[in-house]
Amino acid sequence: MQGRRLPRPQLKGTMEEIVKQKEPHIVVKDLTMAYGEKLIQRDLNFTVNHGDIFIIMGGSGCGKSTLLRHLIGLQEPAKGTVCYGGKDFWASGLDEREKFLRTFGILYQSGALWSSMTLAENIGLLLEQYTELSASKIREIAALKLSLVGLAGFEDYYPSEISGGMKKRAGLARAMALDPEILFFDEPSAGLDPISSRLLDDLILELRDSLGSTIVVVTHELASIFAIGNNSVFLDGATKTMIASGDPKIMLEECKDPTVHAFLTRSSLDKVTT
Amino acid sequence: MQIERLGDGVLVVRVSGPWKIGKELPSADEVKNEIEKNASVPAVAFDAQKLTAWDSGLLTFLIALINFAAEKKIDVRRDGLPEGVQSLLKLASAVPEQKVAAKAPRAFFLARVGGAAMDYGKATVNTVGFIGEITLGLLKMFTGSAKLRWADLILTIQECGPQALPIVSLISILVGLILAFVGSIQLKMFGAQIYIADLVGIAMVRAMGAIMAGIIMAGRTGASYAARIGTMQVNEEIDALRTAGIPPVEFLVLPRVIALALMMPLLTLYADLMGIIGGMFVGVVGFDMGLREYMNETKSALTLTNVWIGVFSGFVYGIIIAVAGCLRGMQCGRSASSVGDATTSAVVTSIVSIIIATAIITVLCNVLNI
């Protein structure tokens, strides 16, 4: 079953920006994901344009995080391709893949800060890895990134010494270390209180507008989906494929699929079908 | 509980008093027996007017009864039950069938044996691949392009070298003592106590020093490597390294392998010395040997070859422990229990491999007449 393509939303900004926004950034074609013989999702087709905030949604256990792992090069597709700027990620050589990785910033679900390093070292490691900057300059940048997420002064703290919400923000600071072209967020609001989660949404919008990054978010938080998303794909665990895609707000109004509708309106599935 | 039969054959179950878990509750079997006795029961009804309290105890009784009635195609009239009970019963039976993939049926015996053998094959390929990655990492290190931080290496060396000295001292001295005591019982019969020095010296230096140090380090350091890397796997830290373009093998495994490969020979020498001191204590205090006498005897018994064999064994064990610990850590699943499994497996793998390596080295030395 093919996902229904919904109309794209109105574009804002200057002509030049609009042209850039329309350019496809990530193109996923006929992607099939599987662990060994266990099929997770099949026949996924979608395009993420420059400057999109793209939401990957669906019920628990339907393969959202697995799709993210495919997008960030942690898992090879069983079938199909993932292209960045027209180039196939998995068909590229190791060096080229590293270049792709250089343009990614990833916020993992648990923060995934390297526990043996301080926050400044966590951010610094990426800069050491990809740039020739001096140690003092690296520290300066690390301090800047931490202050952007409201953690100024925490440079020398270890991940175990800060709270869960702070870890998430520090993880975001690390994801932004290299001013990435694409930011991936795995369930950014999981474990955050409503206020922090709202602040994070604002921060995501801010990042898109100021840096022009493309942003991919895995979430099932309805408030976030409608607040920030302008494009999306809906994965269904039962049919093991995508059942809708496009702007979540339009999807809410127009998509007739009972599962999607129940998900987006937070209603019981029975009530929709009967 | 009372069971009553109405004129039209309907069975009325009267429940009274408190029906709560922890009290002696009547079993559903009584009602079942009653139904079986009377061939034609069109329906079961309930009367709960005298029921004072209820919880899951009543519900399980009712569900057992309802399931039985469904089998016998007997109607169950629930309207005599309290409202709360009725709605819970409805909820319990209304759970939609989960779309769970049917578990594959248990395979035929030979198929299972074959599957297990193939798993072993895969595991071997995995291990060889891992060792290959480490080797490539080492080569890259020599050309200076490996992503390894020297500060990490020094910290790791400190953790597995100097910090292990107290425990290695204790165990080695005790092993030296034990060897001396056990040997002395036999040697004393021939009046040859002086050979305690030879026995302890050669045994410690050639094999026991390295083995004891290896076993201590497997339990102490190998386990900690597996737990550390396993926890990083659970926390997605390893994924974060990969997506940062840093190969985890170069960044995490290489420093640990190098540290243990460097430190184990030194720890072996240290363990040898401590073992000899332990033996000397027994000789001097227990058998009235002179300190110098004991030392001279040890010196004349030992050859440099013995020392080299011990040190070489230590080096091999160091690599085995580090590789086993890191491999199990990297293979760790994504739950707390799998970290425990990884740690256990790391220690078992290390110790088994150490013993096998000892056997191989001993046989080789024998064949080569060393």
Q: How far is CA A16 from the centre of its chain?
A: 25
**Which chain B residues contact residue A130 at CB under 8 A?**
245
Which of A218-222, B11-15, B210-214 ranks highest by mean pLDDT?
B210-214
Say how far apart CA B255 and CA B249 lie, in whole Å: 9
pLDDT of A168-186, one tens digit each? Answer: 889 989 998 888 889 999 9
pLDDT on residue B103 = 62
* Domains observed in chain B: 2-94 (3.30.750.24), 146-367 (no CATH)
Neighbours of A107 (CB within 10 A): 25
Say how far apart CA B18 and CA B170 lie, in whole Å: 65
CB A146 within 8 Å of CB A177:
no
Per-window interface: A 223-242 vs B, CB < 8 A? 238
| pLDDT > 70: percent of chain B | 97
Do the chains contact at B236 and A110, CB–CB below 8 Å? yes
pLDDT of B90-115, one tens digit each? Answer: 888 775 555 555 566 677 889 889 98
**Beta bridge partners of residue A58, listed in sequence order:** A235
End-to-end CA, chain A: 23
pTM for the whole thing? 0.78
The residue with tokens 């002179």 is B290
Helices then strands, each counted (H, E), chain A: 11, 11
pLDDT average, residue stretch B2-7: 76
Does A125 lie at the interface with B, CB-CB under 8 angstroms?
A: yes
pLDDT on residue A20 = 53
For residue B257, what are its two tokens? 């392998």
| Domain extent listing, chain A | 15-103+181-246, 114-179
What count of residues does chain A have?
Answer: 274
Do the chains contact at B239 and A108, CB–CB below 8 Å? yes
Average pLDDT of chain B is 89
Do the chains contact at B240 and A114, CB–CB below 8 Å? yes
**Beta bridge partners of residue A232, listed in sequence order:** A55
pLDDT on residue B98 = 53
User: What phi and psi, each to the nearest 5 degrees, are found at residue A189?
Assistant: -95, 0
Q: Is the pLDDT of residue B347 over 80?
A: yes
The DSSP line for A78-126 is SEEEEEETTEETTTS-HHHHHHHHHTEEEE-TT----TTS-HHHHHHHH
Say how far apart CA A224 and CA A232 lie, in whole Å: 12
Find the closest chain A residue to B233 by CA distance: A112
Q: Is the pLDDT of residue B341 over 90?
A: yes
pLDDT average, residue stretch B54-60: 84
CB-defined contacts A:B, below 8 A: 46
Nearest CA to B214 out of B329, B339, B361 is that of B361
Find the closest chain A residue to B246 by CA distance: A129
**Which chain A residues contact residue B242 at CB under 8 A?**
73-74
pLDDT on residue A93 = 85
Does A252 lie at the interface with B, CB-CB under 8 angstroms?
A: no
pLDDT on residue A271 = 52
For residue B93, what are its two tokens? 């039976």
A74 closest CB neighbour out of B99, B152, B242? B242
CA of B125 to nearest chain A CA: how many angstroms apart? 17
Do the chains contact at A115 and B245, CB–CB below 8 Å? no
Strands B2-5 and A241-245: unpaired
A104 closest CB neighbour out of B99, B152, B243? B243
**Which chain B residues contact residue A73 at CB under 8 A?**
242-243
How large is the ipTM? Answer: 0.81
Lowest pLDDT segment from B33-42, B157-166, B339-348: B33-42
pLDDT band at B283 (very low <50, low <70, confident <90, very high): very high
Nearest CA to B262 out of B221, B290, B226, B292 is that of B221
**Which chain B residues contact residue A238 at CB under 8 A?**
99
Give the residue, B50 or B96, on which the prediction is more confident.
B50
pLDDT on residue B265 = 96
Lowest pLDDT segment from A210-214, B290-294, B359-363: A210-214
**Which chain A residues contact residue B147 at CB under 8 A?**
129
| pLDDT > 90: percent of chain B | 57
Give the residue, B169 or A238, on which the prediction is more confident.
B169
CB A81 within 8 Å of CB A91:
yes
Per-window interface: A 183-222 vs B, CB < 8 A? none
Strands A87-88 and A79-84: antiparallel
pLDDT on residue B143 = 87
Sheet holding B2-5, edge to edge: B2-5, B11-19, B43-54, B75-77
CATH architecture under which domain A15-103+181-246 falls: 3-Layer(aba) Sandwich (3.40)
Chosen for mutation from B237, B250, B339 (greatest number of chain A CBs closer than 10 Å) is: B237
pLDDT on residue B296 = 94
**Which chain A residues contact residue B244 at CB under 8 A?**
101, 125-126, 129
Does A109 lie at the interface with B, CB-CB under 8 angstroms?
A: yes
pLDDT average, residue stretch B291-307: 93
pLDDT on residue B315 = 97
**Residue spans of chain A under pLDDT 70:** 1-22, 269-274
**Which chain A residues contact residue B330 at CB under 8 A?**
none
Helix crossing, B336-367 with B223-234: angle to 10°?
140
